């Protein structure tokens, strides 16, 4: 769902081309609030005009550097809105370093919910700012890819894992 700014205008929005398709980054003027990857040739806000701001311009620059192999971490402000459990999962994901992976089980244990595998998977899949909050770094305990909700799904995740040289089993 596309939200409007309090003044009623469209939210700040920037787009960029990437090796995994077009990406759309939205914000609130102070933080990045969402990142969407092209799916089946479409972006959620494609009918909206681009209107950058300092935060989104910096986010786009950092994403371009990431895809070019010149950046390993992001330092743009991100505002995440979700349940307390989702926020705990997303905050743990944000701590993962470039090339570091974690299993769903490890992620659950690190957030105090060792047996909440399905809930962890749901929280990972609901991440509103993928790549910057690196949900692609989550694998099954046997290093298999179990899915990916961003972009074109598993092929997008494979590209991101390969880019970071994270080993996985197909």
pTM, to two decimals: 0.91
**Euclidean distance between CA atoms 141 and 128, whole angstroms:** 24
Report all structural domains of the chain as residue ranges with CATH numbers, in order of start. 1-79 (3.30.160.70), 84-163 (1.10.10.10)
Catalytic residue among 76, 135, 161, 166: 135
* Residue 8: predicted pLDDT: 63
Which CA distances in Å does 76 have to 8, 38, 58, 102, 119?
25, 21, 7, 23, 27
Backbone phi, psi, residue 5, to 5°: -75, 160
Say whether 135 is catalytic.
yes
10-residue mean pLDDT series, the chain (170 residues): 54 96 97 97 94 96 98 97 95 97 93 81 96 97 93 96 93
């Amino acid at each position: 769902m596309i939200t409007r700014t309090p003044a009623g205008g469209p939210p700040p929005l920037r787009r960029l081309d990437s090796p995994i398709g077009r990406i759309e980054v939205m914000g609130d003027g102070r933080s990045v609030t969402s990142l969407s990857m092209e799916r089946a040739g479409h972006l959620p806000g494609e009918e909206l005009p681009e209107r950058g701001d300092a935060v989104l311009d910096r986010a786009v620059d950092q994403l371009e550097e990431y895809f070019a192999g010149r950046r390993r971490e992001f330092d743009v402000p991100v505002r995440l809105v979700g349940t307390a459990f989702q926020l705990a999962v997303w905050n743990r994901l944000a701590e993962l370093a470039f090339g570091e992976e974690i299993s769903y089980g490890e992620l659950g244990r690190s957030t105090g919910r060792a047996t909440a595998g399905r809930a962890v998977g749901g929280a990972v899949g609901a991440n509103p700012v993928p790549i910057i909050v690196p949900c692609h770094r989550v694998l099954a305990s046997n290093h298999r890819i179990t899915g990916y909700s961003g972009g074109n799904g598993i092929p997008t995740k494979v590209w991101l894992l390969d880019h970071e040289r994270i080993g996985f089993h197909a």
